[in-house]
Amino acid sequence: MDNPDLEQLRAEISKLSDTEQDHLAGFLLMQRLKRNKLVMPAIHQRIEDANPDNWETLAKTKDSIEE
């Protein structure tokens, strides 16, 4: 995307502190996830699942990251 406004935004973002950039990145990630109609329902379902048998263990999460 070759947009002068976007280039100006990039320049301004690069001047932000690490913490400010992290907050912006989190905001943009949530905006992107909201656009994805498949991801958000799955995330909500996992958050609202009260059955511990369906929860992923820390060990399983670590194993999936290492693969």
Q: What is the pLDDT along the chain (67 residues), one digit of tens a residue?
A: 568 899 999 999 999 999 999 999 999 998 888 888 777 788 888 888 888 888 888 888 888 887 6
Q: Which of 44, 20, 23 is nearest to 33 (CA)?
A: 44
pTM: 0.54
Helix, strand, or coil here: 5?
helix
Contact 40, 50 (CB under 8 A): no
* DSSP 8-state assignment for residue 55: S
